[in-house]
């Protein structure tokens, strides 16, 4: 089937339908807007049109540039979305009988590139452009012209990167009309690359398709645009804040944009360099990434040193929106604001230290792999801090299940599934098995679909009144949100299941036994597509025919004193333009207070002393662990002399972290006894059976001895095995005794509850 | 209910279960039907159109340049079947020559493809003393599904649209009854 023509036709149909909705809704727009007649008339005479075009192409106003970014990103999202639907359509059947194999390869390449580079970042930049200056009390961005230039570099970069598709269509039309010659050859030769969005070498060097060169230039240009935007955000947030807004008063969304911009500053120039090197390899016979003279793996190192931070570049603004919007619908302040900021900064730093986990299967040095495994697992911690803070913010809050809130809660769920499946992938043995399967596709879509567009939709609903002066259709929005969640869970959950069943990814052809799963995933994807169309309809229709805003406090934020600066600006604007009087609710309460039953008091009161006592508990547990492990070592030493415990098991422990030797293994054993198991005891001591504490310690040690017995077993049989089990048990009782007694003594001495 | 609550609270308490089902349940089932209908209808419809329009059954071959071919002619490399251009059938030869001319180095084999199996494994075709590696890059098989999927898909889509439009249709029905002076059920 002629993919190029069909894709452009579907995309064109979607855009035309948008225009139709726009036009129909405008005809029905008769209601007053803030007390004034709201017929947003469009004069179509040439002069007005000319002025409109000049205005929108030369504007440097941060809000208008923001809208341009959002429109551009939405355009790209629809384009990439059509490709996703086409891919899923192909996968309805096991063989490549709807699109050809080449077409399928081109589809998943361009889908990835479009969504990552031209959809997510521009939309978040758009939201940030509009709202960051409002949130920090700035008049505009620090460099308004640079801001506009940053945006206007994007359309040409999209054209360069995605020019293969229109070129193919032009080529086909030229052939249809019998046109040949150089012009025809130019258009006919360009086609969408079939490399995968990671552009792995040496395939990307060898591909004869000249469109790959344009794609690389387009990516480079988009990198320049993004870096310009990031510099502007950093300078704006640092120097353009209002007098009353210190660093401690920055909104959480602003913190996230600041961190994101910081990551961009280091990540995108690297992509630019790597892309230039690839261009040189392709066109000027350099050998950076060729097997003879260079190293194809070098490309992966450079690419992923950009690519993994890129994951957080697109995640952090979404996390910022979640942290910003969620409290508004729970009536409570964001729990642990400071820790959420620290986790954001932590992610920003750690994001540069995890790139090699994308390369576990490339045969890089095992010790290096182990280090990257450790860091990759560690980056789950700041992400988990965010999740726990979001959940705690919801906890016993006054929840209002509006569309943004439904999206927030669902996002947390999707993010947890995506995150946990990611922790497994960060583990080398699991990654080696699942790396090339749909498990990975399901995992990262759970995150990049489950939180990024979800939060964009949530933001579009939450700030819709500010953006348009209207209210959207609430019922349709709620329905659309639920449909989106349902479709996403079905689609990406199925992908994870297919991955667990070891179905390889990136293939147009697959074994027939997977057809039912693929069909379920496709129907889920169509549900996502339909929900996106419903969102578009709601946005466009409500722009003209939605309920006009009669108060700036649309969400009742004043009741919980969360009427943030952008809404205050909006209130002032409504009053100034339309004479809409500011409203004041009869009863207000702070979103954070120490009065029981209001705000988030109970948790806050219990957390503060907890923060003081936690270090003491941890220290007591550590000392207890040292005493216990030392006693345990004595028993194990005796067992070694008797020949029923083999010290080589310590060597195996050392090998797990890529080292060798009994002594290294013993140190690890000692460290584990002082940290992991001792801290677990400190946490669970209250819930374990037995009194006094010494009995608890013995019970705990008995439970964990099973794990030790299995992990340190070295093939003993018969009486040796019996002796091994008995000595393991005795050693653990000694451990439990030492741990419990020391812990009890220290915690009572320091007056802390274990 | 105050104005700000009207647009931010989840659902007003006076909404009955029936109303919730009609507002959210019916459109949900409708959307599900549309999604299933799209999948079935596309497959069924395309199966009919594909063979009618001759969009399948012609495998695409790709011809590598002599330089790229070198890796397949190494002594330690795989043993490939060799053909001179004259040994190919008319359709194969035509596709080979078309691919040579094409900037993309690909072409469809539009008539009998006797050496299909060999081409799938990869062959070396010699012309004018130069050997080129040629292989099938896409088989373009015909879609074989039950044509009944198409009408069933269309029906599902139509039913689905009805489901999606249930809430506004129901509202209009109630308005009409109220205008007619009858008590709405």
Contact B142 A188 (CB under 8 A): no
Give the A:B interface size as CB pairs under 8 Å: 109
C-beta of residue B140 within 8 angstroms of C-beta of residue B40? no
List, for residues A232-270, the tens digit of each pLDDT value: 999 999 999 988 888 888 999 999 999 999 999 999 999
Instruction: Give first-to-last CA distance, chain A, whole Å.
Output: 68
Q: Give the model's pLDDT for residue A512.
A: 93
Which residues of B fall within a CB distance of 8 Å from A530?
31, 34-35
Contact B23 A479 (CB under 8 A): yes
Contact B39 A531 (CB under 8 A): no
Q: Give the model's pLDDT for residue A126.
A: 96
Q: Which helix (H) or strand (E) holds A718?
A: helix A718-749
Is the pLDDT reported for residue B10 higher than 80?
A: no
Q: What are residue A234's phi and psi, to 5 degrees?
A: -65, -45
Q: Which helix (H) or strand (E) holds B136?
A: strand B130-138
B63 - beta bridge partners? B134
Task: Indicate the pairing of strand B106-108 with strand A547-548.
Answer: unpaired
Residue from the list A98, A102, A478 with its beta carbon closest to the beta carbon of B137: A102
List, for residues B121-170, the tens digit of each pLDDT value: 888 888 888 888 999 988 888 888 887 888 899 999 999 999 998 888 88
**Torsional class of A610: left (φ above 0), alpha (ψ -120 to 50), beta (otherwise):** alpha
**Would you list which residues of chain B are within 8 Å, Cβ to Cβ, of chain A?**
2-5, 7-11, 23-24, 27-28, 31-32, 34-36, 38-39, 42-43, 46, 50, 55-56, 60, 68, 102-105, 137-145, 167
A724-728, B13-17, B76-80, B128-132 — which is least confidently predicted?
A: B13-17
Question: Which of B103, B146, B157, B171 is the best substitution to test chain A (most A C-beta atoms within 10 A)?
Answer: B103
Q: Give the model's pLDDT for residue A21.
A: 83
Kindly indicate the confidence band of residue A24, based on its pLDDT and cuts at 50, 70 and 90: confident
List, for residues B105-133, the tens digit of each pLDDT value: 888 888 788 888 888 888 888 888 888 89
Kindly indicate the confidence band of residue B184, based on its pLDDT and cuts at 50, 70 and 90: very low
Which residues of B fall within a CB distance of 8 Å from A194?
none
Q: Give the model's pLDDT for residue A1.
A: 54
In Å, what is the CA distance from A269 to each residue of A139, A273, A558?
A: 29, 6, 43
- H helices within A546-600, ranges in order? 565-578
| Rounded mean pLDDT, A604-614 | 62
Say how far apart CA A156 and CA A220 lie, in whole Å: 11
In Å, what is the CA distance from A716 to each residue of A490, A713, A721?
A: 48, 7, 5
A94: closest chain B residue by CA: B143
Residue from the list A1, A471, A556 with its beta carbon closest to the beta carbon of B55: A1
Q: Give the model's pLDDT for residue B11.
A: 45
Q: Give the model's pLDDT for residue A33.
A: 46
Is the pLDDT reported for residue A588 higher than 90?
A: no
Is the pLDDT reported for residue B183 higher than 70?
A: no
Q: Which of residues 270-309 of A touch B (CB under 8 A)?
A: none
Number of H helices, E strands in chain B: 8, 5
Residue A350: exposure state from Cβ atoms within 10 A (0-12, 13-18, ≥19): buried
Q: Give the model's pLDDT for residue A610.
A: 61
A284-293, A545-554, A602-611, A659-668 — which is least confidently predicted?
A: A602-611
Which residues of A fall within a CB distance of 8 Å from B35?
487, 523-524, 526-527, 530
Nearest CA to CA, how far is B17 from chain A (Å)?
Answer: 15
| Rounded mean pLDDT, A639-668 | 84
Contact B23 A530 (CB under 8 A): no
Is the pLDDT reported for residue A498 higher than 90?
A: yes
* Percent of chain B residues past pLDDT 90, beyond the cut: 17
pTM over 0.90: no
List, for residues A167-214, the tens digit of each pLDDT value: 888 888 887 787 777 888 888 888 889 899 999 988 999 888 889 999
| Rounded mean pLDDT, A275-294 | 92
Q: Give the model's pLDDT for residue A208.
A: 83
Residue from the list A474, A482, A526 with its beta carbon closest to the beta carbon of B35: A526
Contact B141 A96 (CB under 8 A): yes
Structure tokens at A425: 């992938």
| Rounded mean pLDDT, A514-531 | 96
Nearest CA to CA, how far is A589 from chain B (Å)?
Answer: 16
Which residues of A fall within a CB distance of 8 Å from B23?
475, 479
B136: closest chain A residue by CA: A101
3-state secondary structure of B134: strand
Say how far apart CA A73 and CA A77 lie, in whole Å: 6
Kindly indicate the confidence band of residue A387, based on its pLDDT and cuts at 50, 70 and 90: very high
Q: Give the model's pLDDT for residue A364.
A: 87
Residue from the list A92, A100, A555 with its beta carbon closest to the beta carbon of B8: A555
CA atoms within 13 A on the CB side of A119: 22
Residue B181: exposure state from Cβ atoms within 10 A (0-12, 13-18, ≥19): exposed
**Can you say how many angstroms the Cα of residue A372 is from the centroid of all Cα atoms in its chain?**
20
Looking at per-residue pLDDT, the higher value among A373 and B10 belongs to: A373
Chain B interface includes A188 (CB < 8 A): yes
Kindly indicate the confidence band of residue A34, based on its pLDDT and cuts at 50, 70 and 90: very low
Say how far apart CA A725 and CA A702 lie, in whole Å: 11
- Angle ∠(A687,A691,A692) on CA atoms, nearest 5: 120
Is the pLDDT reported for residue A35 higher than 80?
A: no
| Rounded mean pLDDT, B2-27 | 61
Q: Give the model's pLDDT for residue A601.
A: 43
3-state secondary structure of B83: strand
Smallest CA-to-CA distance from A672 within A712, A637, A638 is with A712
Is the pLDDT reported for residue A692 higher than 90?
A: no
Residue from the list B27, B35, B138 with its beta carbon closest to the beta carbon of A96: B138
Looking at per-residue pLDDT, the higher value among A167 and A91 belongs to: A91
| Rounded mean pLDDT, A54-77 | 95
Q: What's the 3-state SS for A66-88? A: HHHHHHHHHHHHHHHHHHHHHHH
A508: closest chain B residue by CA: B138
Kindly indicate the confidence band of residue A314, based on its pLDDT and cuts at 50, 70 and 90: very high
Is the pLDDT reported for residue A602 higher than 80?
A: no
Question: Which of A4, A530, A541, A586 is the best substitution to test chain B (most B C-beta atoms within 10 A)?
Answer: A530
B123 - beta bridge partners? B81, B134
* Percent of chain A residues past pLDDT 90, beyond the cut: 55
> DSSP per residue over A420-477, as a string?
HHHHHHTSHHHHHHHTTBHHHHHHHHHHHTTTHHHHHHHHHHHTHHHHHSEE--HHHH
Torsional sign, CA A225, A231, A235, A236: positive
Kindly indicate the confidence band of residue A694, based on its pLDDT and cuts at 50, 70 and 90: confident
Contact B4 A556 (CB under 8 A): yes
Is the pLDDT reported for residue B2 higher than 60?
A: no
Q: Give the model's pLDDT for residue A355.
A: 92
Within a 10 A sphere around the Cβ of A654, how many other Cβ atoms?
A: 19
Contact B4 A101 (CB under 8 A): no
Looking at per-residue pLDDT, the higher value among A184 and B183 belongs to: A184
Which residues of B fall within a CB distance of 8 Å from A401?
10-11
Smallest CA-to-CA distance from A226 within A194, A196, A270, A193 is with A270
Contact B140 A100 (CB under 8 A): yes
B104: closest chain A residue by CA: A189
Residue from the list B8, B10, B143 with its beta carbon closest to the beta carbon of A556: B8
**Can you say how many angstroms the Cα of residue B137 is from the centroid of all Cα atoms in its chain?**
18
Chain B interface includes A550 (CB < 8 A): yes
List, for residues A455-481, the tens digit of each pLDDT value: 999 999 999 999 998 999 998 999 999
Q: Give the model's pLDDT for residue A754.
A: 46
Within a 10 A sphere around the Cβ of A433, how many other Cβ atoms?
A: 17
Looking at per-residue pLDDT, the higher value among A1 and A333 belongs to: A333
Q: Give the model's pLDDT for residue B159.
A: 93
Structure tokens at A710: 């299995």
Chain B interface includes A402 (CB < 8 A): yes
Which residues of B fall within a CB distance of 8 Å from A211?
none
3-state secondary structure of B108: strand
Kindly indicate the confidence band of residue A114, based on its pLDDT and cuts at 50, 70 and 90: very high
Is the pLDDT reported for residue B102 higher than 50?
A: yes
A180: closest chain B residue by CA: B102
Is the pLDDT reported for residue B5 higher than 50?
A: no
Is the pLDDT reported for residue A351 higher than 70?
A: yes
Nearest CA to CA, how far is B98 from chain A (Å)?
Answer: 14
Q: Give the model's pLDDT for residue A8.
A: 81
Q: Give the model's pLDDT for residue A36.
A: 47
Q: Which helix (H) or strand (E) holds B131?
A: strand B130-138
């Amino acid at each position: 089937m002629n993919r190029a023509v069909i894709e452009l036709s579907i995309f064109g149909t979607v855009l035309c339908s948008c225009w139709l909705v726009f036009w129909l809704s405008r005809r029905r727009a008769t209601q007053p807007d803030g007390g004034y007649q709201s017929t947003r008339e469009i004069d179509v005479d040439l002069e007005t049109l000319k002025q409109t075009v000049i205005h929108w192409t030369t504007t440097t106003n941060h809000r208008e540039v923001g809208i341009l970014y959002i429109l551009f990103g939405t355009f790209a999202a629809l384009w990439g979305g059509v490709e996703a639907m086409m891919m899923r359509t192909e996968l309805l059947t096991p063989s490549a009988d709807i699109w050809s194999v080449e077409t399928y390869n081109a589809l998943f390449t361009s889908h990835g590139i479009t969504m990552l580079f031209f959809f997510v970042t521009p939309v978040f930049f758009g939201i940030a452009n509009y709202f960051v200056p409002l949130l920090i009390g700035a008049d505009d961005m620090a460099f308004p012209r640079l801001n506009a230039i940053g945006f206007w570099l994007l359309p040409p970069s999209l054209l360069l990167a995605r020019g293969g598709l229109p070129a193919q269509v032009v080529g086909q039309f030229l052939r249809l009309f019998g046109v040949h010659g150089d012009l025809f050859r130019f258009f006919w030769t360009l086609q969408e690359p079939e490399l995968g969005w990671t552009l792995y070498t040496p395939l990307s060097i060898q591909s004869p398709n000249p469109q790959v060169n344009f794609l690389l230039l387009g990516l480079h240009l988009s990198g320049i645009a993004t870096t310009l935007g990031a510099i502007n955000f950093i300078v704006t947030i640092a120097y353009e804040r209002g007098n009353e807004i210190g660093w401690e008063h920055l909104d959480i969304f602003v913190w996230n944009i600041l961190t994101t911009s910081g990551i961009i500053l280091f990540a995108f120039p690297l992509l630019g360099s790597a892309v230039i090197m690839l261009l040189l390899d392709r066109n000027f016979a350099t050998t950076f990434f060729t097997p003879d003279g260079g190293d194809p793996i070098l490309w992966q190192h450079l690419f992923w040193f950009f690519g993994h931070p890129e994951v957080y570049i697109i995640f952090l603004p979404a996390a910022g929106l979640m942290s910003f919007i969620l409290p508004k619908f729970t009536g409570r302040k964001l729990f642990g604001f400071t820790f959420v900021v620290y986790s954001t900064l932590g992610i920003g730093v750690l994001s540069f230290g995890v790139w090699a986990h994308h390369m576990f299967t490339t045969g890089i040095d095992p010790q290096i792999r182990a280090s990257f495994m450790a860091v990759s697992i560690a980056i789950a911690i700041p992400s988990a801090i965010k999740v726990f803070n979001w959940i705690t913010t919801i906890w016993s809050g006054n929840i209002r299940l509006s569309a943004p809130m439904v999206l927030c809660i669902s996002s947390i769920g999707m993010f947890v599934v995506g995150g946990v499946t990611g922790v497994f992938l960060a583990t080398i043995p699991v990654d080696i098995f699942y790396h090339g399967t749909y498990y990975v596709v399901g995992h990262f879509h759970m995150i990049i679909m489950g939180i990024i567009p979800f939060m964009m939709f949530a933001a579009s609903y939450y700030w819709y009144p500010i953006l348009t002066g209207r209210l959207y259709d609430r019922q349709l929005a709620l329905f659309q949100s639920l449909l989106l969640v349902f479709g996403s869970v079905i689609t990406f959950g199925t992908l994870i299941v297919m991955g667990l069943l070891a179905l390889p990814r990136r293939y147009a052809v697959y074994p027939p036994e997977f057809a039912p799963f693929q069909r379920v995933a496709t129907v889920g994807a169509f549900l996502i597509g339909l929900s996106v169309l419903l969102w578009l309809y709601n946005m466009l229709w409500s722009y003209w025919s939605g309920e006009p805003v009669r108060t700036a406090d649309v969400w009742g934020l004043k009741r919980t004193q969360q009427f943030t600066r952008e809404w205050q600006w909006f209130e002032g604007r409504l009053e100034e333009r339309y004479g809409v009087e500011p409203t004041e609710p009869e009863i207000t309460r702070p979103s954070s207070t120490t009065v029981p039953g209001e705000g988030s008091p109970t948790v806050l009161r219990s957390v503060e002393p907890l923060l003081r006592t936690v270090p003491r508990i941890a220290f007591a547990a550590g000392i207890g662990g040292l005493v216990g492990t030392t006693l345990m070592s004595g028993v194990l030493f005796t067992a070694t002399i008797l020949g029923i415990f083999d010290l080589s098991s310590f060597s195996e422990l050392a090998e797990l972290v890529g080292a060798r030797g009994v002594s290294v293994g013993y140190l690890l054993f000692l460290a584990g006894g002082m940290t992991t198991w001792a801290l677990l005891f400190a946490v669970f001591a209250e819930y374990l059976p037995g009194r006094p504490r010494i009995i608890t310690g013995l019970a705990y040690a008995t439970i964990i001895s099973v794990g030790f017995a299995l992990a340190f077993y070295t093939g003993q049989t018969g009486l040796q095995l019996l002796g091994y089990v008995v000595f393991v048990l005795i050693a653990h009782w000694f451990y439990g005794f030492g741990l419990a007694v020391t812990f009890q003594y220290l915690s009572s001495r320091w007056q802390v509850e274990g | 209910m105050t104005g700000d609550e009207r647009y931010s609270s989840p659902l007003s308490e006076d909404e009955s279960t029936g109303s919730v089902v009609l507002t959210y349940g019916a459109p949900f089932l409708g959307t599900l039907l549309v999604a299933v209908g799209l999948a079935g209808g596309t497959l069924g419809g395309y199966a009919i159109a594909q063979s009618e329009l001759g969009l399948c059954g012609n495998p695409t071959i790709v011809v590598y340049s002599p330089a790229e071919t070198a890796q397949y002619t190494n002594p330690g490399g795989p043993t490939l079947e060799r053909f001179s251009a004259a040994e190919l059938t008319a359709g194969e030869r035509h596709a080979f020559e078309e691919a040579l001319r094409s900037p993309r180095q690909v072409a469809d084999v539009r008539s009998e493809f006797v050496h299909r199996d060999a081409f799938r494994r990869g062959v070396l075709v010699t012309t004018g003393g130069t050997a080129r590696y040629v292989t099938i890059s896409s088989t373009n098989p015909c879609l074989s599904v039950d044509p009944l999927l198409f009408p069933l898909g269309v029906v599902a889509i139509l039913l689905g649209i009805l489901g999606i439009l249930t809430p506004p249709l129901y509202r209009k029905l109630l308005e009409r009854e109220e205008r007619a002076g009858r008590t709405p059920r």
